[in-house]
Each structure stands twice: as structure tokens, then as C-alpha cells.
Structure 1
Amino acid sequence: MLLQHVVNAISLGGIYALLALGLAIVFSIVGLINFAHGELMTIAGYSTLGALLFGVPFPAAVLIAIATTAVAAMAMERIAFRPMRGASVTSLLLTSFAVSALLKVIFQNGLSARPQPLAMPQWMTGSYQVGNVAIGVGPTISIVISVVALISLELFLRRTVTGTAMRAAAEDFPVVRLMGIAAGRVIATAFALSGVLAGIAALLWVAQRASVDPLMGAVPVVKAFIATVVGGLGSLPGAVVGGLLLGAIEIGLDAVLPPSVVPYRDAFVLSGVILILLFRPQGVIPAATVRRG
């Protein structure tokens, strides 16, 4: 049972880490907490469903969904957030809420307000034995994909010119502009990366639910925001640590709480978050600097 709980905790924490990292990348550069990030998950879910309905093989459908989400994130930045560049944090936050609400209405009225089943391939729904313990294939795949995605992002940020520019922008955006680096390109890349991470997280989330609906990203994005705060707002390593920590707390509470108390799990989670922030108000791994573009 302990091994199963550990696998489930890392699997769920990996999804939260991917989402939190997408939020942290954008926040570290432009000072925006994008609450429409959850709708990017929804776009990925419906893109996968649409591709499968047209007979596209599952691997190709996954790539289409991730690409669609990245393009949607860049379009969101270009249409909604670029005109607000230089605005106050409050204005940016209200804009993100407006985009989120608008997309929810479009999904509910243009697609369907009801959950739509999305069948995963048979090989993703089975289990395998580790000693006397049956471990789900789905959670294991979730862990592997999360780890690969996080390592790939780290290599991109460390080994490429664009990644270096993004890390520099997260430290001091005005200086990056003075060095002649195109601000629009850096910000668009940050949104594209956040879209890719949201798309991957959405597919892992859908694999657990086997359905998509217009509100599927609402709860995960709130959990991801909590993870970014716990890890350290604007800190990329902190976002990963916060996501894994939040997943571990949730699965741990599911394991130890009596069945009658489990519905109140989120209250215990938030209480734990408050305790962490009382001792570490800047988060577990605070960002060195947080500057808006």
C-alpha cells in the first residue's frame, strides 16, 4: 500500500508541478498569474477528443493537442495580454479572469456543458505487479512523462539562447530589453512553453478521468496556483517542489483520513499550506527577484 501511495503521490504531484511551472514561467517574466491557464487544459482535452473522433492515431492526437495548446497560449498573449502590457497587476489579473470566463462560456455553449467520454488506449488502463503490489500503468506513465518534461524544460532554459534570455528576463526584464533582446519574442515563448506544459498536464489529467468537460481545468489550476505560492511565487524550482509537495499531502491525507472525513481533505490541505507559509512566507524556494515586464 505504501508503494501505491508513493506512486500516486508522485503522479499527482507531477501534474501539479507541470501546471505550476507554466504559471511560474509567465509570472516570473510579466508578473501575471494567468488564471486562464486552466482553459488551456480544456483546449488540450477537446483537441485530443476531436482528433480521435476524426480517426487520428492516439500518439498523433497527443501531439496535435499539445501543439494546439501552445498556439492557443500564444494567441491568448497576443490578443488579450499584449495590449495590457505595462498595466497594473490588478488589471492583468482581471484580464486573466475575463479570458477564463469567456472561454468557459464558449466551451459550454459551443461544445457541450456535459462531460464527454475520452477512452484511453487499453495499454494505459492496465496494471503491473511489483512483488505483491499492483501498480497502475497510467500513474507510472504520468511520472515518466512529468520527469521527462521537467528535464527537457531545464535543458531548454540552460542550453539554448532563448532559454538563457528567458532566465535573464525573469531576473531583470528591463536590462534584457536594453541589451536588444526582443521583449515580445521572450514573452511569446514563455506563453508557448506554459501552453505546452498545460497540454501535457491536461493529457495526464484526462487519462485519470477518461472524460473532458468545460470546467476540467478549474480545480487543477487553483491547485497549481497554491503550489506556486508554497514553492515561492516566481521561482521555477519552487513551482516543481510546491507541486510535488501538494500532491504528496493530498495522497497522504487520502490514505490516513477516515472515510467520513475525506470530503474535507482540501480544508486540511489549505490548513497545511497556511502553516508552511507562516514559517516560510516567501515560499519553500523563494525567487531571487520578481520583476514585471
Structure 2
Amino acid sequence: MHRWTLALLTAGLLATTATGCAGTTTAPGASASSTPRAAGSTAETLRLAEQLLVKTCMEKEGHKYWVEPPSPDDVSIRFPYVVDDPAWAGAHGYGTDLRRQRAAEVQKDPNQRYFHSAPAKDRAVLVSDLNGARPQGLSARLPNGIQVSHSDQGCQATAQRQLYGDLQAWFRATRVTDSLAGMRIGLVTADKRYKAAVTVWARCMRERTYTYADPARARAAATQPETPWPHAKEVRLASAEAACAVSSGLSSVAKSLDSEYRDRLQRSHPRETADLARLKREALPRARAIVAHGG
């Protein structure tokens, strides 16, 4: 997800609506680099190609735009259930050091500086040219019944249309499958097998003097207090969590359940799952050509 400032988020909301929930938009100002990273994986090739197409489109509209590098995974993405990598925990705790580093990078970001250096009237044009003026043209109903919509105009939509062809199918497939990820985490953490493993994990943590009932409470204690924890204190807790995640079996249980529910949810939404795979597969040759030519 793009790292927006409050100003960009406020402006970006002009381009997306949802009945009961805000959708996802793209706004100028995420961490950016003037030199794109070399594409490697399929996901990175597609991401970079889309960014190059956005850049070309924005420049045609008379704006400057810098290709965004991939955002590093936040701890909640890297470890959705429990921190289970002792080496990572020993270096980063719960990743507050990385979040501070990314926040500092955002302040130096060329897209951010370009956006904030523009007059107020031009900022609205920038957001409109990127995201479209109104959240109309694309729609999808999520598994929870919420209807989300987005503009089919603007450089983001133009880039995705050029890359994936069927923009409506892409919008629906990505929004639905993205929502399945959140559903999957809820199903895993509610599963009695996960809860049983958490009980064993909590016992291990008590032996290390920590009395948190589950990993979520441990993470919140270290990352959400009004006064930030010292890094060493955060590392000690995260390291204990990781060691107990491995020794208690919670890590393996969570991974097994995650795979089980992922397959189950994909089978329950075969159209969007198949569309997403097909659209990515068909877009890959185009993406490789775009990256090879630099846009």
C-alpha cells in the first residue's frame, strides 16, 4: 500500500468510494526513486511496468512523476499471525525502526516534494490526473457485501488498462482477492487449532516473564504505547515471541491453517481467482517489453 501523507490521503479519497468502506486509491507521493529497480519476479515486473506506464501518462499530462520502488513489507504483512523469525526479531523487534526509516524517506521523496511544491489548485489537478476526477466507471462487490468503486479515468486506470486489457475484470479480481486476504486472517485466528497453539505459546512466554495472552497483544504493547519503547526493549519482547512461536509450534500451525483457508477461499471465489491469474499471465509479456524499453 502506498504511504500517503494526510494531505494526499484526503485528496485521494476524492477518487474512490465504497458503500460502507473506503476503497484503495493511488496518490502521488509514495516513496519514490528516480532510478527504477531491475525487475525480477513476475510481481515486480508487473509492478514496474505499471509504474512506467503511469510515468509516461503523467508526463503527457504535463506533470513530473518518479517511478516508485516497491514498498517494504510492514511487520503485519510479513508476520500476520506471529513474529516467527528470531534473526529478524533480533534486528528489528516489531519493525518500528524500519517504519521510522521509511517515514524519513518519504520526506525526501521526489513525488512528495513535487506535490507539496505545487500551488493548491494544481494539487487537485495532479490527484485527478492520476486517479481520475470521480469514483465512477469501475465497481466490485466484495465478499462481505460492500460495494467499492473507482474511476476508470486517470493515469492509474490508463496504465492498468494498457497492461491488463480488461480494466473492469482487473479491478474486480484485485479488490475481491485482496479482501479475501483479510478474511483469511480472521478465519485462521478464530480456528480452534490456532487458539490451542496460542495457549502453548502464551505458556512459553510466561516462562520468559511475559504475560501476553496472544501475539497481537504483545505486538500492541510494544508498538502502540504513547511513549515509544526503547529499541532494545522491543527487541527482547519480539525475540521472545519468535522463539516461542517456533518452540510451541504456533508458527507451523499458523502457516498450515493459512494455506488451508487460502485454498478454501479461492475455491469459493473461482471467477476472481482465475481472472487474476489469467490477467497477470497475459500481461507478463507486455510488462517485460515495457520494462525492457523503459516505458
TM over 0.5: no
Name the TM-score class by shorter chain. under 0.3
Q: Max radius of gyration: which structure? A: 2
TM-score, length-scaled by structure 1 = 0.26
Pick the structure with more helix per residue.
1
Highest RCO, 1 vs 2 (Cα 8 Å, sep ≥ 6)? 1
